[in-house]
Amino acid sequence: MEAKADIYRYEDSNGVVHFTDAPTDKRFKIFMRDIKREKQLRTSFRISGDPARYESLISSCAVKYGVDKSLIKAVIHAESAYNPNAVSRKGAQGLMQLMPKTAQDLKVADAFDPAENIRGGVRYLRFLLDTCKGDVSLALAAYNAGLSRVARYGGIPPYQETRSYVSKVLEYQKNYQSN
């Protein structure tokens, strides 16, 4: 069994700050990630979680928000490899790697809750698809680099990370469509 060194914290109503490596209460939020585990997540895009566990949630969000189910799966695969506890080096959280400000704007209270994260991420994807007039590549570029950068460059920004991300997600989407 793999050891985890993530640290969680919450501040109670008396102002006392509590820390733990084994949260037993929903009030605990991630405070510090295990850097070694985070590096493993960034370098491996093999699925580390169980996609079947999220199938019904993905399906219902796909229908509710009108987003292709295979695209949702591809984004989750590329973003977190289906690890609901994933945190990027820039602070994005959960299955769909929502940045804290984006999660807050989407009314996602707990980005590590798979249901909240997927609902929020799919709503955001729907917004980006609408804003980009259905252009999946542009929506994915905006998901990765930000809508303002897509607007600034009038298309996919000239960042290798973003271009690779868009290609990878589109490839994953094709694979999910054919299975």
* Residues annotated as part of the active site: 79
pLDDT in tens, 124-157: 999 999 999 999 999 999 999 999 999 999 999 9
Q: Confirm if 4 and 34 have CB atoms less than 8 A apart.
A: yes
Q: Where are the beta strands (DSSP E) in the chain?
A: 7-11, 17-20, 29-32
Q: Confirm if 124 and 106 have CB atoms less than 8 A apart.
A: yes
pLDDT in tens, 53-108: 999 999 999 999 999 999 999 999 999 999 999 999 899 999 999 999 999 999 99
**What domains can be seen in the chain, in order of their start residue?**
48-178 (1.10.530.10)
> The whole model's pTM is what?
0.74
- Sequence-ordered list of residues with C-beta below 8 angstroms from that of 148, at least 6 positions apart, any chain: none
* Res 43 pLDDT > 70: no
DSSP string, 124-144: HHHHHHHHTTT-HHHHHHHHH
Determine which of 5-9, 120-124, 136-140, 165-169 has the lowest per-residue pLDDT on average. 5-9
* Helices and strands per DSSP (H, E), number in the chain: 8, 3
